[in-house]
Amino acid sequence: MTYLAAMARTAVLGYWPFSPPPSTDSMTTIYGIKACDTMQKARAWLSGHGVACDFHDYKTQGVDRARLEGWARQVGWAVLLNRAGTTFRKLPDADKADLNEAKAIALMLAQPSMIKRPVLEAEGGLLVGFRPEAYAARFG
């Protein structure tokens, strides 16, 4: 292939024809808190298995209502709410009483530490929490 033909093909393909195509793994995003031990285990598993992903720290970057509501539709708000964490346990009893989806989402938006970690968005759906066997089933 001549240089000019390669340049023309680059314009069509979007990458240099003598290089491998760009990875589509960037469609995988892991959401959580950087300092969380479970997050570190999940990120180490992904890295060790060659799964490229973006990291979104929802403690520093927040999470938008639409995304959180979408997750709740996929897995249920009760799966997303981290009731075992210190942040939730320290809430006044009135805030913990009579939980429903709207109240849980409002709590998680106000204090993202109450969102269970990690939340992994990947082709094929959403994984909440880290279980190596679930990650292996998803990524092979």
What positions carry a catalytic annotation? 36
Residue 127: inside a domain, yes or no? yes
Q: What is the CATH number for 107?
A: 3.40.30.10
Residue 4: inside a domain, yes or no? no
* Domain that residue 115 falls in: 28-139
| Series of mean pLDDT values for 10-residue runs along the chain (140 residues) | 51 46 64 94 95 93 95 97 94 94 96 96 92 93
For residue 28, report the phi and psi dihedrals to the nearest 5 degrees.
-95, 125
Q: Is 140 exposed, middle or buried (0-12, 13-18, 19+ CB in 10 A)?
A: exposed
Counted domains in the chain: 1
Prediction pTM value: 0.78
Strands 119-122 and 125-128: antiparallel
